[in-house]
Amino acid sequence: MENGSKNSELEAEIFYPKGLQSIVNLFGSLPEQERRDALVSYADQARKWEPKEGETFNLEDIRKDEECTDTVGVFLKVGDQERATFRVMLGPQVQTLTRAMTAILCRGLEHSTVTEILKVPSDFVPKIVGGELIRLRSQTVYYVLTRMKGICKVYLDRRRAAFTP
């Protein structure tokens, strides 16, 4: 069993950006109650990742989807070497778990390249959230990751189109 978990960790490091891997490792070491407490703590940090006045972005995607209880705005800024920074605006009705995943993803994916973000598999989510919450809130926990990947894909598609004669 130990060899299996070692291999899984090594494989995960290949796919997860460094910041996200650190968060996955932290949550993986916590018992269930501490994991939930950590999720609430991350949820409380979600406002830190809202757009700041005067910030400019390459793309903005603000909408209310069926999968979410309120409007969510995803803002993408791409810097040197295609490194991404996300800002996310959450409506007041957005659930705690979505707020937590927002803060986790903004922090964990910060300064990753757009291409790296598109390659991130969603299998890290149960490692952070835990099996019970995944069963209860299966759509919610993947929502923000799906939106972030979507805006990265649009960015790359537009960039390719701009360079195609």
Domain boundaries, the chain: 2-163
Does the pLDDT at position 100 exceed 50?
yes
Query: Tell me: the pLDDT tens digits for 36-86?
Result: 999 999 999 999 999 999 999 999 999 998 888 899 999 999 999 999 999
Fold of the domain spanning 2-163:
Sufe protein. Chain: A (3.90.1010)
pTM of the predicted model as reported, rounded to 2 decimal places: 0.85
Query: Tell me: the pLDDT tens digits for 5-20?
Result: 444 444 444 579 999 9
DSSP state of 77: E
Could you tell me what percent of the chain has a pLDDT over 90?
A: 68
Cβ neighbors of 149 (< 8 A, separation 6 or more) are: 117, 118, 120
Does the pLDDT at position 103 exceed 50?
yes
Give the C-alpha separation, 165 to 151, whole Å: 23
* Max CA separation in the chain (angstroms): 56
